[in-house]
C-alpha cells in the first residue's frame, strides 16, 4: 500500500469481507459480530484507512461539502429494459447498490434508458447528486453524455474490452474468471474443452474466453472456441447473453467435434439453454464436465448434473459502485479508478 491512499475496497479485500461489511463496521452497525468488527478495525488501523465523513445524520453544510445536495443517486440502465432487468445478475447488482445507499442515507432512483435521445431530464445536479451507469455503451462519448454529473460505471459496458474510458468503473475480474474456469477443468483432468459464446459483441464474455483459452492451453490442453457471427453492438442488450438461433447452430457444431470432454459457458442463463438444446438432440449434459458463470440460482437449480459456476460478485459490484461514487462526490480531483471484484469458484451451487 506504500504510496497509495487505502480505499474501502482495499480494507475489504485485506479483511476478506465485503465493502458493505466495512461500511457497517465504520458506522458501528449492530448487525456486525464483534469478531468481524475487531478484524476489520485491525485492518483499518494497519492500512491507515480514513473515511470521508458519512452522509448519515449530517447537516446541510457538511453534506454539501461531500458533494451531497439532494440525497438522491440515479442508477441508469442503458439499453436494459423489460426482461433484461429481471435477470438475477442485474437484480442482485441493484440490491447491492440499494443496500449501500441505504447505509449512507441516500435514496436510489432507477432509470431505464432505451433511447438516449429521451434521457430523462432528472439527470442533472438539481435532481441527483451522481449516477451509477450500467448496461450498453452508446455511440456517444459517455463522459460527455454525463459530463455534469459524477458517475461510476458498473461492468464493462464498452463494446471493445480493450478500449479505455477515463471514468470510474467497477467490474468483475473477467481475466480471473476465465483462469478459474481453466483451473477447475484442469483439476477435473479434462483434456479438450469448448468455449461457447453466441454473443460476440458481449465485451466481458470475450475477455473470459481469451483468458480461459490462454490458461487451459498453457497447461498442454486444447480449447476450441465456438463464436458465431460478427455481432451487432446491441446484440447483448435486447436478448442478453444469447441469440437463440445462433446457439442451436453452435450446439450442432459442438456435437460434430470428437474427444471434447468439457465446456466453459460464460453465463448461467446461457448454460440453462445449452442443457435444453443438448437434451433436445438426445445428448446428456453429463457427457461433459461443465463450468458456468454468475452463480444465478434460478437458472441453475433445475439443471442435472449441476454444473460448477463462478460467483462474479454482483452484489459486491453494486456496493463498490456506491462506495466509489461517494468517494468521487467527496473529491472530483481524484484520478479515475477501475475497481475489479474478485470471483470465486462455486463447485456445487446447491451448497
Note the CATH number of domain 174-311.
3.40.50.2300
Give CA–CA dist 291/252, Å, rounded.
19
C-alpha cell belonging to residue 328: 468521487
CATH topology of domain 60-173+313-342: Rossmann fold (3.40.50)
Q: Dihedral sign for Cα 77, 83, 84, 90, please.
A: positive
And the C-alpha cell for 101?
Answer: 445507499
- Look at residue 58 in the predicted model and tell me its pLDDT: 43
Confidence at residue 162, expressed as pLDDT on a 0 to 100 scale: 56
Query: What residues contact 110, with CB distance under 8 A and at least 6 apart?
Result: 74, 75, 77, 94
| pLDDT given at position 200 | 74
Specify the pLDDT at position 60: 42
Separation of alpha carbons 254 and 232, rounded Å:
23
Shared fold status for 60-173+313-342 and 174-311 = yes
pLDDT at 232: 44
Task: Output b/e per residue, 266-280; b: 16+ Cβ within 10 A.
Answer: bbbbbbbbbbebbee
Please state the domain extents for the chain. Answer: 8-47, 60-173+313-342, 174-311
For residue 264, the surrounding DSSP H or E stretch is strand 262-264
| φ, ψ for residue 136, nearest 5 deg | -110, 135
pLDDT for 10 equals 83
Q: What is the pLDDT of residue 34?
A: 86
pLDDT for 254: 97
pLDDT by 10-residue block (mean), the chain, 351 residues:
67 84 75 85 83 45 68 85 74 92 89 69 79 75 72 77 72 96 97 91 88 97 84 43 74 96 96 95 97 94 94 95 92 85 86 54
Contact 88, 144 (CB under 8 A): no
Q: Tell the CATH topology of 8-47.
A: 434 Repressor (Amino-terminal Domain) (1.10.260)
The pLDDT value recorded for residue 313 is: 95
> Which phi and psi (to 5°) does residue 338 adopt?
-115, 115
Name the strands in the sheet holding 338-341, side by side, starting at the edge strand that comes first in the sequence: 107-113, 72-78, 130-135, 151-154, 168-172, 338-341
Phi, psi (5° rounding) for residue 204? -80, -35
Cell for 25? 463496521
Amino acid at each position: 500500500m506504500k504510496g497509495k491512499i487505502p480505499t474501502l475496497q482495499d480494507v475489504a479485500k485485506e479483511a476478506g469481507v465485503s465493502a458493505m461489511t466495512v461500511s457497517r463496521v465504520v458506522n458501528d452497525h449492530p448487525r456486525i459480530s464483534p469478531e468481524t468488527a475487531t478484524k476489520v478495525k485491525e485492518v483499518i488501523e494497519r492500512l491507515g484507512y480514513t473515511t470521508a465523513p458519512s452522509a448519515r445524520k449530517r447537516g446541510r453544510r457538511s453534506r454539501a461539502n461531500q458533494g451531497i445536495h439532494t440525497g438522491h443517486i440515479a442508477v441508469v440502465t442503458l439499453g436494459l429494459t423489460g426482461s433484461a432487468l429481471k435477470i438475477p445478475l442485474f437484480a442482485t447488482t441493484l440490491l447491492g447498490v440499494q443496500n449501500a445507499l441505504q447505509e449512507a442515507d441516500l435514496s436510489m432512483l432507477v432509470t431505464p434508458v432505451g433511447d438516449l435521445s429521451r434521457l430523462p431530464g432528472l439527470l442533472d445536479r438539481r435532481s441527483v447528486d451522481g449516477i451509477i451507469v450500467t448496461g450498453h455503451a452508446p455511440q456517444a462519448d459517455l463522459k460527455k453524455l454525463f459530463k455534469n454529473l459524477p458517475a461510476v460505471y458498473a461492468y464493462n459496458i464498452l463494446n471493445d474490452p480493450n478500449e479505455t474510458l477515463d471514468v470510474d468503473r467497477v467490474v468483475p475480474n473477467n481475466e480471473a474468471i476465465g483462469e478459474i474456469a481453466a483451473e477447475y477443468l484442469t483439476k477435473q483432468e479434462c483434456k479438450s474443452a469448448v468455449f461457447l459464446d453466441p454473443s460476440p459483441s458481449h465485451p466481458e464474455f470475450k475477455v473470459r474466453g481469451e483468458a480461459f483459452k490462454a490458461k487451459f492451453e498453457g497447461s498442454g490442453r486444447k480449447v476450441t472456441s465456438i463464436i458465431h457471427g460478427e455481432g451487432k453492438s446491441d446484440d447483448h442488450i435486447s436478448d442478453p447473453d444469447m441469440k437463440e438461433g445462433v446457439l442451436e447452430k453452435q450446439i450442432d457444431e459442438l456435437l460434430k467435434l470428437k474427444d471434447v470432454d468439457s465446456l466453459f459457458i460464460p453465463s448461467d442463463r446461457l448454460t440453462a439453454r445449452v442443457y435444453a438444446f443438448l437434451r433436445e438432440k438426445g445428448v446428456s449434459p453429463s457427457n461433459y464436465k461443465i463450468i458456468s458463470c454468475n452463480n444465478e440460482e434460478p437458472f441453475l437449480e433445475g439443471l442435472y448434473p449441476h454444473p460448477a459456476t463462478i460467483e462474479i460478485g454482483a452484489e459486491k459490484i453494486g456496493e463498490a459502485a456506491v462506495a466509489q461514487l461517494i468517494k468521487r462526490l467527496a473529491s472530483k480531483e481524484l484520478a479515475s479508478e477501475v475497481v475489479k471484484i474478485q470471483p470465486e469458484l462455486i463447485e456445487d451451487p446447491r451448497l
